[in-house]
Amino acid sequence: YIREESFEGNNKYQTKTYGLQNAKKGVIFKSFPPVLRIQLNRFEYDMQRDATVKINDRHEYPMEIDLQSYLSSDSDKSISYNYLLHGVIVHNGELREGSYYVLLKPENNGQWFKFDDNGATPVTDQNVLEDNYGGEVTNESRTNVNQFTSAYILVYIRESDIDFVLSPVLAKDIPEHLQRRLDEEKALCAQKQREAEERHFYLYIRLVTPATFVRYQGFDLANFNNRQFPLSEVPQFKVLKSVKYSTFKAMIAHKFWISPEQMRLWVLVNRQNRTVRPDTPIPDNFLDIDMKAICKKMGRRQDEMKLFLEIADKPIMVWFPPIGENTNILVFIKYFNPDTQSLEGMCYLYVQKYGKVGDIIPILCEKKNFPSHTHLKIYEEIKPSMIEEMRPILTFQQSEMQNGDIICFQKVLTEEEIRIHTAAGRICDIPTFYESLLNRVVVEFKPKHEDRELKPEFKLILNEKYTYDEVAKRVSAFLNTDPLKLRFSTAHPMSGTYETVIKRTTKQTLSELLQTTYLPNSTRLLYYKMLDISIIELETKKFFKVYWLGTTVKEERMIDVCLPGTAIINEVLRIIVQKLALLIPSYRIRLYDVLNYKIQNEYDINDPIDKIQEHMTLYAE
């Protein structure tokens, strides 16, 4: 970083007043701060791979360093520039599947600690230094192996300022807003501790109601835990385990303004195929049994239950059909509407175990106000990846139906209706719609840094199988812009930082665009940029910025260049001469690129502009 570059011989520096002169260009320091952060170059763009890669080369760093020799001659030398290492941020693993942890020495003469996702643990000096130099190490079998833990950021504190920098934090030093947040966190921790201490006294119950089912569009009856999508509004109850079932039932009846005799509660269970369905109703002869005993007998967990609230709609002496081996089955009905592209939770029904599947077609037509002769297709939602068509001539027992199963139906479409839906990009059948639900993904879109103040951040529910153009179409609809005037860039799957521009192709899917590892905390994020020209034109031309340094490194001006992809460097230089009205020929201009503060390539006038990499910063002088 501080290495000087010499301009001598045929490479002399052009000055305004004195013409060509021998010169040196570099960086010198006037002073250093009390706390110095040094960032090591562990990540850089690889032109061969067209991607950002991790540099894991060995780099040794000391516990103590004197920086006085790096200061300019007129700097204040009365101040000590001896620095002691007190912090190291380490990157562990590969670029896309790595993690960070930090090593800190909180006290002047104290112990080093490692802070990671598992907590804080004391470490030795070797853990701080040798273990994080990177590069190859010799293992017990005396063979060299790559070490993938490498220091990324070093934090040094000026020795003469350590007592001040590491002085204890007093109450008066904490800003009021921060103290308020700390107090809120303490109160929240205390509340959680109280809840944990009391948890074994209580039963936590989540109740799926008919209204929950009707409002929900997805797999099963409700979304309990998948936070990637909106969770269902499921009423929750905290009841003492010692409470009698009759008391709890009365509580539910009061909550929903219904008679206790007009309701029945079903226990939801996790099936082997990972679905959550009602299995067994809680019998009324359990009214005098406490909730702890019911949970132990019918539930799967000691402190939590999921229930479904069945409400009878007829005020008669016996509201509910009996549940038994040879009687009725409780099934849930969903309707697929291709016009609105929705899967509506419609109702639940009791069906005869030995009745035929086709027997419910008139009931379904009546529920949707269809003519009684309407032809329907009926499917069973077995699990997200298994949607099977049901045969009307079979009985429910032959179809292996049981309590809590879900039936989906739709009208049989004519060829003309299928053609219209297909032309409009709509899904026509239930299995395909379920497949689209299975491939749903919530993607966060952020504007690139230069547009951040003007453009919004937002999230969209998309399909992993969407092509580039389909993604652009839906994003443009949100932003009210032309889909061909959008350009997307990838994000690092762990840190979410901007990475590389995505080329527009017709075959690449959204899943491939995201390049995500699908870890629990991975980021489904894309950056976008709104363009002034079509991306088709953009990708057939080269657009880049050149910074003109002139006769001194301080005289900097930015020049926008747009040329066909077949152009050569000399055409870039001519544009610079023209825009700056220079009185020198183009061949006298030096054009080079810089990455991470280092000159990478110097271009010849006959080089094709395709040699210029997108991530490079171009300078001319």
Identify the pLDDT of residue 52.
77
Least confident among 46-55, 98-107, 279-288: 46-55
| pLDDT for the residue numbered 66 | 93
Asked whether the predicted pLDDT for residue 441 surpasses 60, the reply is: yes
Average pLDDT, integer, range 564-574: 86
> What's the whole-number mean pLDDT along residues 381-410?
94
- For 334-387, the DSSP string reads EEEETTTTEEEEEEEEEEETTSBGGGGHHHHHHHTT--TT--EEEEEEEETTEE
* Per-residue pLDDT, 69: 87
pLDDT score, position 520 = 46
Look at residue 113 in the predicted model and tell me its pLDDT.
95
Does 316 have pLDDT greater than 50?
no
Look at residue 333 and tell me whether its pLDDT is greater than 70: yes
Instruction: Provide the pLDDT confidence category of residue 137 given band limits of 50, 70 and 90.
Output: low
Tracing tokens 């297909």 back to the chain, one arrives at 422
- Give the Cα separation of 260 and 263 in Å (integer): 6
Structure confidence at residue 381 (pLDDT): 95
Residue 519 pLDDT = 47
What is the pTM for the complete model shown?
0.61
- pLDDT value, residue 431: 94
CA separation, residue 296 to residues 206, 286, 289 (Å): 16, 13, 11
Q: Is the pLDDT of residue 147 over 70?
A: no
Contact call for residues 543 and 572 (beta carbons, < 8 A) = no
Higher-confidence residue of 544 and 332: namely 332
179-199: pLDDT as tens digits: 999 999 999 999 988 888 877
pLDDT score for 324: 58
Three-class SS of 540-586: HEEEEEEEECCCCCCCCEEEEEEEECCCEHHHHHHHHHHHHCCCCCH
pLDDT tens digits along 83-133: 999 999 999 887 767 788 999 999 888 899 999 988 899 999 999 998 889
Mean pLDDT of the chain: 85
Residue 615 has pLDDT above 70, yes or no: no
Residue 452 clears pLDDT 80, i.e. is over it: no
**Residue percentage of the chain with pLDDT more than 70:** 90
The CA-CA-CA angle for residues 611, 616, 617, to 5°, reads 120
Question: pLDDT for 573-583, tens place per residue?
Answer: 888 888 888 87
pLDDT tens digit string along 498-551? Answer: 777 888 887 888 888 886 544 444 558 888 988 888 888 777 777 788 888 866
**pLDDT band at residue 321, thresholds of 50, 70 and 90?**
low
Mean of pLDDT values over 248-263: 91
* Of residues 368, 353, 432, the one with CA closest to residue 398: 353
